Structure 1
């Protein structure tokens, strides 16, 4: 009697690495790549800004303080959060970029931070295979 070892192997398609370590994984204006998220972000900006802030580990209401305290002219919290994320993850960039983007495009900054957190917190799946030979009877 001959027993054959058969392995079923399924190869995944093209896999993108979970993140690129030293740069933003999405551009500042890539919010429309996911249409449903884009609509949510557009119609409920303050909801997503506060939710992003909370997920980042900051106070839920900090984005509102930017708007109420400074009239939205210089969103210091958005700038600080973007700068902190760059430092935390080793993303290339500068405080000047953080200032310019946060001042000119605050919704886009929050959306980019939200996407980056999602990408960098993706679970990495490790597949390990073991070859097991069944005992044969003689």
Structure 2
């Protein structure tokens, strides 16, 4: 007689089904949150301070490579320091907007 597999995890639907260990939006997915995009474009420093405040860090660190790397490692998002550096240096506004969108989505999910 064979035994049935034991279900240890129920399937999730809606916002809770978003992957917890990946970026919730792409780097250039600016249209998914136009308010964050506008803030990152026209007031980069303000958005950097808001991100740093969300993460309980110094305001000066908001748009830095270190902040992106800290966030990525905290939520076990795959990537490398080199990728973080390239993204934060070459596409600073988009990188910071991605970070803020991710924070907002994780807050909605209750996992931030």
**What TM bracket, shorter-length normalisation?**
0.7 to 0.9
Could you tell me which runs of 5 or more consecutive residues in structure 1 were left unpaired when the two chains were aligned.
1-13, 64-76, 125-138
Q: How does 1:36-55 map to 2 (within 5 A)?
A: 36-55=35-54
Are residue 90 (structure 1) and residue 43 (structure 2) matched? no
Determine which structure has more spread, i.e. the larger CA radius of gyration: 1
- Aligned length, in residue pairs: 98
* Structure 2 spans left out of the alignment, 5+ residues: 1-12
Structure 1 vs Structure 2 CA RMSD: 2.0
Residue number among 65, 90, 94 corresponding to 1:79 in the alignment: 65
Larger fraction in helix: 2
Q: TM-score, normalised by structure 2?
A: 0.75
- Cα distance, 1:16 vs. partner? 3.1
1:130 corresponds to: none
Structure 1 moving runs of 4+ over 4 Å: none
Aligned to 1:109: 95
TM-score normalized with structure 1 length = 0.62
